[in-house]
Amino acid sequence: MDEMHYQLDLLKAMNEKLLGNDKMFRMICGTSSNAFLFYSFSENRFETLGCWEQYFEFEVQNQTDFQNILRCVKDEYSSVLEAALFCERAGESAKSAECEMAEGSKWVEFEVTISYDENHRPSEKIVRVRDITRAKRQTEDLKYMAYYDALTGLYNRNYFVRLLSEWVRKAQTEHAKVSVMCIRLDEFRKINDAMGMIAGDEVIQLFGLFLKDLQNEDTIAAHFYEDMFFVALYDPFGNNTTEHIYRKVCNRLEDTFHITSGSAEVKSTVSVGVAEYPESARNSLELINCAEIVMLQRSEKGRNSIEYFETPMLTDFMENIQLENQLKEAIESGDFELYYQPQYDSLSNKLRGVEALIRWRKQDGKLVSPAVFIPIAEKDGLIVQIGNWVLEEGIRCFKKWYDKYQYPMMLSLNISAIQYKRKDFVHKLLRLLDKYQVNPELIELEITESVLIDDFESVVDKLHTLKEYGIKISLDDFGTGFSSLSYLKGLPIDTLKIDKSFIDTVIDDNSTRVITESIIAMVKKLGCETVAEGVETQEQFEYLKGINCDNIQGFLLGRPMPASEVDKLLAAV
């Protein structure tokens, strides 16, 4: 009997302990944000624990209820999950799926753990259900940031390069073609400057949205930065060629962009550069670079244009880049020299003055022509520094000559349009004249018609200011630009330089003679002086003198020379 009591007490104690464990187990599960499903194989019994009701609207009591879990799972994940849930050997990793749950759509992770009896048969299974929506969204956001441009929703640069690389690889095996278009909005800068960054962003967004609609499985678009977009076409054909896309873009741009922030309508044109695989480049980065190079060269030429890459362009471009870098170094180390070419009065043969012409002496001693480096310097603004140096060096030498020889000659200085348009140009020039105590009436600025193109009125205002100080203005290269004699009337010009191209043909070509003669007659009536440039032969000289051209400049009478040679020239007059 005692034995019996003892056994009963033991069982009771064990039961209490078991109940205690069970309680503890339930409490632990209850504090978790996970839901658990317990299944006993031997008893064919299910039990749910934790926050089950936050996930599922049903209890699981039998196999049919268990099946219901799959109903919540979105179709594309159901087969993977079915295998995981119904297995009798646990898989290696947890499976996640998008599910429609009691509280709406969630990303849920299911982790199945199975225990086995001594005969290796499954005895229990626990399915842990975990809400991973937040982590998943964060990953999606990161992915989005990694692939897409936040402003436009188009692909970003990195992802575009990746997709393009895949296309190039595919095109290699399929012998297909890949075209890359670099598209830039010409007016973006102006809109941004005039209306602010938010308006600028709106234009980018609207244009981005438009490009997004052009995308299909063979066309992708990306926003790189600011106003720079790229479109790539896989095996362009039929209605999906660069020309088609370009035309669609131009059509869109005939309409305005509505800017809500400034409540305004703005318009822009585009510059487009195209590079193609395999013709112009071998890989994605080359394609992008080449398309950009063509676009950049194009955007200088004008509005709404498309240009295709040709190989020599790359060579030119690389050479220019190299020159540009060398030019920066040359400015640092002062590798410039100023040469002077004499101009003579055609009737008296007296020295009228000298034109200052810059030379760049490279480290290897070779001289680079200003015709090569001035256009490069104008492109990136280096011309301002170079031009300032020319002004100071020219005026400094001129003062020395004047003090030494007292000879009343002119100094002609070439002024780039970019330099001329700067607000401080007149002020700087006057300061230099004051510093070296040079009479402004002996200074002549040579400008070209390109100065007049943009803002005619402010250019003319500036010319008047210069004239008030006595500074002379000479119109260089006359005959090469739009050269209308009628607009000359409105300009306060003192001298007109007839371009070398006229002088070259004036002897042999009758019509050139007619034009040259009428230019000279007309200019004289306006009260301007004339200078013929590039006079190389005695015949040209005599002819020009005969038609009353006032001054002659050219190799015939003197080549551009260093300052020391001018000294000799002045010593002899």
- Catalog residues that contact ligand C2E under the rule CB under 6 A: 341, 356-358, 369-371, 374, 387, 390, 414, 416, 446, 476-477, 533-536, 554-555, 560
Q: How large is the C-alpha radius of gyration of the chain?
A: 41
Nearer to ligand C2E, 266 or 351 (CB): 351
Instruction: Measure the CA angle with vertex 218, ends 215 and 221; round to 5°.
Output: 40
The residue from 446, 449, 529, 550 that contacts Ca ion (CB under 5 A) is 446
How far apart CA 191 and CA 201 sit, in angstroms, is 10
Nearer to ligand C2E, 273 or 534 (CB): 534
Which residues are CB-neighbours of 253 under 8 A, at least 6 positions away? Answer: 267, 268, 269, 270, 304
202 backbone dihedrals φ, ψ, rounded to 5°: -65, -40
| Interactions with Ca ion, residue window 451-490 (CB under 5 A) | 476-477
Distance of closest approach, residue 477 Cβ to Ca ion, in angstroms = 4
Residue 96 backbone zone (phi > 0: left; psi -120 to 50: alpha; other: beta): beta
Nearer to ligand C2E, 377 or 528 (CB): 377
Distance of closest approach, residue 500 Cβ to ligand C2E, in angstroms = 6
> Which amino acid, residue 259?
I
Instruction: Give the total of residues touching Ca ion (CB under 5 A).
Output: 5
Tell me which residue has tokens 């002379």.
472
371 binds, options ligand C2E, Ca ion, none, Cβ within 5 to 8 A by partner type: ligand C2E
271 binds, options ligand C2E, Ca ion, none, Cβ within 5 to 8 A by partner type: none
Bridging pattern class, strands 495-498 and 472-478: parallel
Nearer to ligand C2E, 299 or 341 (CB): 341
Which residues are CB-neighbours of 182 under 8 A, at least 6 positions away? Answer: 228, 229, 230, 272, 273, 274, 275, 288, 291, 292, 294, 295
374 binds, options Ca ion, ligand C2E, none, Cβ within 5 to 8 A by partner type: ligand C2E
Which residues are CB-neighbours of 144 under 8 A, at least 6 positions away? Answer: none
Distance of closest approach, residue 390 Cβ to Ca ion, in angstroms = 12
How far apart CA 176 and CA 169 sit, in angstroms, is 10
Nearer to Ca ion, 266 or 451 (CB): 451
449 binds, options Ca ion, ligand C2E, none, Cβ within 5 to 8 A by partner type: none
Distance of closest approach, residue 409 Cβ to ligand C2E, in angstroms = 17
CA distances to 262, 352, 516, 535 from 541, in Å: 62, 16, 13, 7
| Secondary structure class of 123 (helix, strand, coil) | strand
Distance of closest approach, residue 396 Cβ to Ca ion, in angstroms = 20
User: What is the DSSP secondary-structure string of 420-489?
Assistant: HHSTTHHHHHHHHHHHTT--GGGEEEEE-THHHHS-HHHHHHHHHHHHHTT-EEEEEEETSS---HHHHT
Binding mask 511-540 for Ca ion (x = CB under 5 A): ----------------------x-------
Nearer to Ca ion, 123 or 450 (CB): 450
Nearer to ligand C2E, 259 or 354 (CB): 354
Structure tokens at 486: 């009628």
Nearer to ligand C2E, 295 or 338 (CB): 338
Length reported for the chain: 573
Helix (H) or strand (E) holding 121: none
496 binds, options ligand C2E, Ca ion, none, Cβ within 5 to 8 A by partner type: none
Report the candidate in 85, 79, 83 with the shortest Cα–Cα distance to residue 63.
85
How far apart CA 79 and CA 73 sit, in angstroms, is 10
The residue from 414, 419, 495, 540 that contacts Ca ion (CB under 5 A) is 414
How far apart CA 346 and CA 552 sit, in angstroms, is 6
186 binds, options Ca ion, ligand C2E, none, Cβ within 5 to 8 A by partner type: none
Nearer to ligand C2E, 182 or 411 (CB): 411
101 binds, options ligand C2E, Ca ion, none, Cβ within 5 to 8 A by partner type: none
Distance of closest approach, residue 178 Cβ to Ca ion, in angstroms = 46
Nearer to Ca ion, 156 or 343 (CB): 343
Distance of closest approach, residue 555 Cβ to ligand C2E, in angstroms = 3
Distance of closest approach, residue 142 Cβ to ligand C2E, in angstroms = 52
416 binds, options ligand C2E, Ca ion, none, Cβ within 5 to 8 A by partner type: ligand C2E
Q: Is 292 in the site for Ca ion (CB under 5 A)?
A: no
Residues engaged in binding Ca ion (CB under 5 A): 414, 446, 476-477, 533
